[in-house]
Amino acid sequence: MKKIATILSLSLATLYCVVFITQCYRSPVNPNEKWIKVAGGMNFPEGPTWDGRSTLYVSNCYGDWITRIQNNRADTFLVRSGKSPDFGKTNGLLFSNETLFACDFGINAILKINMDGSIKILTSGTDSQPFHRPNDLAFGPDGFLYITDPFHYDRNNPDGVVYRVDPVTGNIEPVIKNLAFPNGLAFSVDGKYLYICESAFQRVLRFPFSKTGAIGKPELFIELPGGDPDGIAFDKKGNLYIAHFGGGAVYIVSPIGKIIHKLETPGRKPSNLEFGGKDLKTLYLTEVETDAVYQCNVRIPGQPLFHYHHRITN
């Protein structure tokens, strides 16, 4: 009887471990999940950003308009007017405090766009170091904006820069230099790391980040050959979703840098992604080969990005 009890106990323990491991490594996306097209007819869609309620805003990098998507219906939020101040070619967008922050590589500036369509230039860099091609942006735990500014796509000439920008005053300082085409960026859920896609090397780096804004030396997080890591976003469990431009996939990577799931995309050029929907379980994707925006369902909510990080100024 004692032997039977021991065997039963071991069997139950084994079953518990199997169930535990299965739950821990369950894919954040249903393997049979399909992308649903929600908007087409775009012109190099990029920079999707969710407003926390009902609306997704999307750049058209080579078009003269910014798209707004509500209830899976797309219309135009803003059209280039030709009047000053105006926008040129927007890429990364970030909604916060009823404002769209935009990277504009047409006029090489960071913009603040109000919901009435009025535009203010927050910064164009500095006289000694103007922007070359502002690409993407994210709020840090310290309340500052962090901006990627790539220049040449050249491993032998890593001249890309990451800037820290005060979202109130527009004051700016370079904080990371010598990157080979820095692209998408995101802060970890716990705020301890800054992740940056270094597209020319087809990899994602992470930098230790402190509450004081100090940034440590880079660490290799993951390499993804066969395409460029472009836009990135975290879910609440700390898994990193990577749009693999040219590779035709979104890779979901665990906090320890292991690929959990490869989600094939409708075209070969997924450019960026964003969590939205009322429960943040809708993953939106911009895709350049088909010039469209898609969505699919995920099991884990995304990390909210639309909350304003107030800068306290004396």
Low-confidence residues of the chain: pLDDT under 70: 1-25, 306-314
Write down the pLDDT at residue 13.
43
Token pair of 101 as six digits: 């922050």
Please state, as a whole number, how many other Cβ atoms lie within 10 Å of the Cβ of residue 27.
Answer: 16
Nearest 5°: phi and psi at 170? 85, 0
Tens-place pLDDT, residues 259-294: 999 999 999 999 999 999 999 999 999 999 999 999
Asked whether residue 89 is assigned to any structural domain, the reply reads: yes
Return the C-alpha torsion angle 188, 60, 133, 214, nearest 10: -20
Write down the pLDDT at residue 312.
38
Token pair of 85 as six digits: 């101040």
Write down the pLDDT at residue 19.
36
Return the C-alpha torsion angle 288, 292, 298, 302, nearest 10: 70
Asked whether residue 226 is assigned to any structural domain, the reply reads: yes
Q: Cβ distance 130 to 91 under 8 Å?
A: no
Tens-place pLDDT, residues 98-112: 999 999 999 999 999
Asked whether residue 20 is assigned to any structural domain, the reply reads: no
Asked whether residue 79 is assigned to any structural domain, the reply reads: yes
Calpha distance 282→28 (Å, rounded): 12
What is the residue range of 113's domain?
31-297
Exposed/middle/buried for residue 312 (C-beta within 10 Å: 0-12, 13-18, 19+): exposed
Calpha distance 212→154 (Å, rounded): 32
| Cis, bond preceding 85 (omega within 30 deg of 0) | yes
Token pair of 255 as six digits: 């906090």
* Total structural domains within the chain: 1
Calpha distance 239→258 (Å, rounded): 10
Q: What is the CATH number of the domain that holds 144?
A: 2.120.10.30
Q: Would you give the distance in Å from CA 230 to the centre of its chain?
A: 8
Asked whether residue 233 is assigned to any structural domain, the reply reads: yes
Asked whether residue 7 is assigned to any structural domain, the reply reads: no
Write down the pLDDT at residue 25.
54
Token pair of 68 as six digits: 């707004």
Asked whether residue 311 is assigned to any structural domain, the reply reads: no
Asked whether residue 21 is assigned to any structural domain, the reply reads: no
Write down the pLDDT at residue 12.
43
Write down the pLDDT at residue 7.
45
